[in-house]
Each structure stands twice: as C-alpha cells, then as structure tokens.
C-alpha cells in the first residue's frame, strides 16, 4: 500500500450548535483522526486543561506567534484570538494522519486557502447547523456558562456565521445527536473512499491489477 498524505477536515458552526461534542465523539470512534489543539487568548474555563482543550497563551505571546508566521490561520471571535499551528498540521498530514480542525468560518476559509496556495492540496469543509434558532438559544442557555447579555451577543453573531454555510462542502443539521454523529462519520468515510484518495493510496495495486488484466487478455489471444 502506498504511503499518502492525510486529509484535512474543517468543522465550523455557530456557538451552541454542538460542534465540540460531535467532534469529541467522532475522535473516540475514529482512531485515524487527530484534532488540532488551537492556541487561544481566551481564559480557561472550568474543566479545561492547557494543551488538551487549547494552548492558552497571553495576547503578547499570540501576537509574536503571528509575527513569526507560526499560524496557518488565526481569527478573533468574541474578543478572543484563536490560531492553528502551521507546522503541527503539515507534520500530521505528512505522516498520513487525517486532521480535523474545529474552527469558525473565518479560520476555515484561511485554512483552505493555505492548503491550496502553500501545499497545492484541497481540504474538506463541514458546517454544523442547529435545527432552529430556538434550539440554539436553548443550548446556549443550558450550558450555564454565560449571562443573558453574552448569550444575546452569541445569538446575534450566530446569524452572521450561518450565512457562510455555503462555503462548506457538507452541511449537517444537528437535530438528533446520534444522527448528526453518524452523518459526520459518513462524510469522513466518503472522502477516504473517493476516487482521488483511493488512487493515491492504492497506486501500486491499481497499476498491478491493470497490468495483470492486460497480460491475461494477451495470453487468451490466438
């Protein structure tokens, strides 16, 4: 089997659509995937761990990393900066590992531009949407992490974020969690079985099959 580079998947969604829960469940079920741990200036939330959920850094450190060109994408969301390590992603792809980035639409756009211009590759964009605005608000309220003003701000931003769903290759409606997870797994598997990916992965096998077929036909000729 030929060694091939991994594929990069971006998963975007408005806050509260269930993106993080879906990606966490996907990683448990699919050992061939790795998630990129972003750097952020956001304060650590209860239950989070540095280096596991995010690499938590201060604003000056983040700014220096931008100046050093260490991010393949970075964006500011709700007043906090987020960035994805360029070297880590490229290294994982080179090892043949499929990488998933859980980022907002701005970051996804930058990531796919980086893939195309610097690596000459294409990624796969996935957008998670809620079944309704009422369901989205209920999920944000149910977290118990933000006050009413913050939730109202997130709802307003969600409207703008959802306008960018058309930039993704796949859309998943997270109405029922298990169904949405199954849909997400189906997208990953479909991409792995695509003709272009299979041609790269089984290049030698496909060539041998064609050659063997040609030889068999030649032997049968009178």
Q: What does the pLDDT read at residue 81?
A: 94
Please state the three-class secondary structure of the chain as a single string: CCCCCCCEEEEECCCCCCHHHHHHHHHHHCCCEEECCCEECCCCCCCCCECCCEEECCHHHHHHHHHCCCEEEEEEECCEEEEEEHHHHHHHHHCCCEEEEECCHHHHHHHHHHHHHHHCCCCEEEEEECCCHHHHHHHHHHHCCCCHHHHHHHHHHHHHHHCCHHHCCEEEECCCHHHHHHHHHHHHHHHHCCHHHHHHHCHHHHHHHHHHHHHHHHHHCC
* Per-residue pLDDT band at 170 (split at 50, 70, 90): very high
List the single range of 145-149, 159-163, 187-191, 205-209 with lowest mean pLDDT: 145-149
Q: What does the pLDDT read at residue 216?
A: 63
Tell me: pLDDT of 219 over 60: no
Q: What does the pLDDT read at residue 188?
A: 97
Tell me: pLDDT of 148 over 50: yes
Alpha-carbon span 76 to 55, nearest angstrom: 15
Mean pLDDT of the chain: 90
The mean per-residue pLDDT over the stretch 178-205 comes to 94
- Burial (Cβ within 10 Å: 0-12, 13-18, ≥19) of residue 164: middle
Residue 178 token pair: 């298990």
Relative to beta strand 98-102, strand 8-12 is: parallel
Percent of the chain with pLDDT over 90: 67
pLDDT in tens, 12-68: 999 889 999 999 999 999 999 999 999 999 999 999 999 988 999 999 999 999 999
* Per-residue pLDDT band at 141 (split at 50, 70, 90): confident
Q: What does the pLDDT read at residue 215?
A: 62
Q: What does the pLDDT read at residue 2?
A: 40
- The full set of domain ranges for the chain reads 8-36+98-220
Q: What does the pLDDT read at residue 222?
A: 57
pLDDT in tens, 73-101: 998 888 999 999 999 999 999 999 999 99
- CATH fold of the domain at 8-36+98-220: Rossmann fold (3.40.50)
**Cβ neighbours around 142 below 10 Å, total:** 9
Locus of tokens 């450190």: 61
């Amino acid at each position: 089997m030929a060694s091939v580079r991994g594929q990069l998947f971006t998963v975007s969604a408005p806050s509260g659509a269930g993106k993080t829960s879906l990606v966490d469940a996907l990683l448990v079920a699919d050992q061939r995937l790795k998630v990129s741990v972003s750097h952020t200036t956001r304060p650590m939330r209860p239950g989070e761990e540095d280096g596991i959920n995010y690499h938590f850094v201060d604003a000056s450190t983040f700014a220096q990393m931008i100046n050093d060109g260490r991010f393949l994408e970075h964006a500011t969301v709700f007043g906090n900066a987020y960035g994805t390590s360029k070297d880590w992603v490229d290294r994982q792809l080179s090892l043949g590992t499929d990488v998933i980035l859980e980022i907002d639409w701005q970051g996804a756009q930058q990531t796919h531009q980086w893939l195309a211009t610097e690596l000459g590759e294409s990624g796969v964009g996935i957008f998670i949407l809620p079944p309704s605005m009422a369901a989205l608000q209920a999920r944000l309220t149910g977290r118990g992490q933000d006050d009413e003003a913050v939730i109202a701000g997130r709802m307003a931003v969600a409207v703008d974020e959802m306008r960018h769903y058309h930039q993704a290759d796949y859309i998943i409606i997270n109405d029922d969690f298990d169904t949405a997870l199954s849909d997400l797994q189906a997208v990953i598997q479909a991409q792995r079985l695509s003709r272009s990916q299979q041609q790269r992965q089984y290049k030698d096998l496909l060539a041998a099959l064609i050659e063997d077929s040609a030889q068999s036909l030649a032997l049968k000729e009178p």
